[in-house]
Amino acid sequence: MLFKPIKIKNLILKNNVFVAPLAGYTNLPTRLIFREQNCAICYSEMVSAMGLNFNFNKSSKLIDINQIDRPIGIQLFGSNADIIFKAFLSLNNFDYDLIDINCGCSVKKVINAKSGAFLLKDPDGIYKIVKILKDNTDKPVTLKIRSGWDKDNINFLEILDSCTKAKADLITFHPRTKSMLFKGIAEWDQIRILKEASPIPVIGNGDIFTGSDAVRMMEATGCDGIMLARGLIENPFLIEETICALKNEEYNKPDTDKRMKTMLKHCSLIISYMGEKRGLANFRKFASGYVKGLPGASKFRQKINHLVKHEDFIKTVDEYNNYIKNLL
């Protein structure tokens, strides 16, 4: 059975479909929209350990969670165990469910800070990070990795050995090197190799853009679950599609009314959270996913890019919805 509950130490998740921590995307309103589709767990946006240590009030705003937003993971990135542990201690007032360490981000700013995928060069450093957290919390400690720094330095099995010796509770694996960024094809066979060697649950990540992709990954690799990331930006309904596919159930793609209704709700939540002007500007990057593949999508996106009032956005969406219906 592909769709199943998963246990991470003392945390029991209702299923095995994870929503990735996406910088600039997985804010609280967006997570609440995704949770309506029955995902197992969401993560706050990736948070800088150094930022928490030196400007806590600013960086901690990325960890805005509430009791509806559960279970929730917090993902930290930092260059070493001391920096990450100090940041971890500052999170005592947050009611979260697991702590995750990013060892896979390949963004230049993160790499320059010797964090994220830079840690792939130092399996012993990863061991120290996981070990100090495991020694100081009862919450699950997990991590997200890539396959290595570049094609000449594929070391995911060495990293697995380090993190399991430190008693990590779960590992999420994106089988691309740091140097690949998001180019090329994720080498899913590496997930199979990692899973066969791993004593802890393995979550597969990379190139899941449809429910069928999720099924193929799980069948090909034997991984315990999947993490959705970039695919959610292209398709905001990917969670429900994936769950149907894993359950081998027929999936009915959302009609235009559902797309527009969910888009309006998503925008409204972000505006309530950020304010009208900032919220509308923030939502624009989500809008393309709601209208992808529909007639006139490009003109619709261009039009909303100039809107500054919520009421004008609502009116524009209603007009676009009527336009689509008249074509059918």
Question: What average pLDDT does range 55-83 have in this prediction?
Answer: 92
Query: Annotated catalytic, 267?
Result: no
Confidence check: pLDDT of 326 > 90: no
> Residue 290: which CATH number?
1.10.1200.80
**46 is a domain residue:** yes
| Predicted local distance difference test score (pLDDT) of residue 22 | 93
- The larger pLDDT score, comparing residue 328 to residue 127, is at 127
Q: What does the pLDDT read at residue 270?
A: 97
Mean pLDDT, the chain, integer: 96
Are 242 and 317 found together in one domain?
Answer: no
Residue spans of alpha helices (H) in the chain: 28-35, 49-54, 56-59, 81-89, 108-112, 123-134, 156-165, 188-197, 211-221, 230-234, 238-246, 256-274, 276-291, 297-304, 310-327
Looking at residues 278-299, what average pLDDT do you find? 95
What per-residue confidence (pLDDT) applies to 108? Answer: 94
Which of the listed residues 184, 211, 246 is the one where a domain comes to its end? 246
Query: Residue 59's pLDDT is what?
Result: 86
Smallest CA-to-CA distance from 146 within 86, 106, 97 is with 106
Task: Please report whether residue 317 resides in a domain.
Answer: yes
The more confident residue out of 97 and 59 is: 97
Question: Is residue 251 one of the residues assigned to a domain?
Answer: no
Is 299 within the bounds of a domain?
yes
Q: Read off the pLDDT of residues 6-31 as tens digits, 9 standing for 90 and up.
A: 999 999 999 999 999 999 999 999 99
> Could you identify the residue written with the tokens 């997985």?
26
What whole-number percentage of the chain has pLDDT above 90? 92
Residue 58's pLDDT band, with cuts at 50, 70 and 90, is confident
The yes-or-no verdict on residue 56 having pLDDT over 90 is: no
- How many domains in the chain? 2
> Cα torsion at 180, 184, 185, 190 (round to 10°)?
-30
Residue pointed to by tokens 């509950």: 5
pLDDT at 65 over 90: no
81 shares its domain with 142: yes
| Residue 72: strand, helix, or coil | strand
Let me know if residue 160 belongs to a domain. yes
Q: How confident is the model at residue 255 (pLDDT cuts 50, 70, 90)?
A: very high
Catalytic member of 42, 105, 223, 267 = 105
Give the residue from 194, 228, 246 where a domain finishes.
Answer: 246
Q: Do residues 162 and 232 share a domain?
A: yes
Regarding whether 212 and 267 lie in a shared domain, the answer is no
- Whether residue 328 is predicted with pLDDT greater than 80 in this model: the reply is no
Note whether 189 and 283 are same-domain residues: no
**Does pLDDT of 216 surpass 90?**
yes
What would the pLDDT profile of 108-154 be if each residue is shown by its tens digit? 999 999 999 999 999 999 999 999 999 999 999 999 999 999 999 99
Judged against a pLDDT cut of 90, whether residue 313 lies above it is answered with: yes
The answer on 52 and 31 residing in a single domain is yes
Residues 223 and 190 occupy one common structural domain: yes
Q: What is the DSSP string of 218-265?
A: HHHH--SEEEE-HHHHH-TTHHHHHHHHHTT-------HHHHHHHHHH
Q: What is the CATH number of the domain that holds 116?
A: 3.20.20.70
Whole-angstrom Cα distance, residue 187 to residue 177? 10
Q: Which pLDDT tens digit goes with each residue over 163-179?
A: 999 999 999 999 999 99
Q: Are 229 and 223 in contact (CB under 8 A)?
A: no
- Is the predicted pLDDT of residue 185 greater than 90, yes or no? yes
> Do 99 and 194 fall within a single domain?
yes
Averaged pLDDT for residues 36-60: 93
Q: How confident is the model at residue 214 (pLDDT cuts 50, 70, 90)?
A: very high
**Collapsed DSSP state (helix, strand, coil) of residue 99:** strand
Which of 58-72, 182-196, 281-295 is least confident?
58-72
Asked whether 245 and 268 are in contact (CB, 8 A), the reply is no
Q: E strand or H helix at 17, and its extent? A: strand 17-19
Q: Which domain holds residue 316?
A: 256-327
Tokens of 182: 């998001």
**Residue with the two structure tokens 């969910």:** 262
Decide if 79 is inside a domain: yes
23 and 83 belong to one structural domain? yes
Do 176 and 298 belong together in one domain?
Answer: no
Residues 78 and 181 in one domain: yes
* Burial 59-69, CB ≥16 within 10 A → b, else e: bbebbebeeeb
Instruction: Look at residue 90 in the predicted model and tell me its pLDDT.
Output: 95
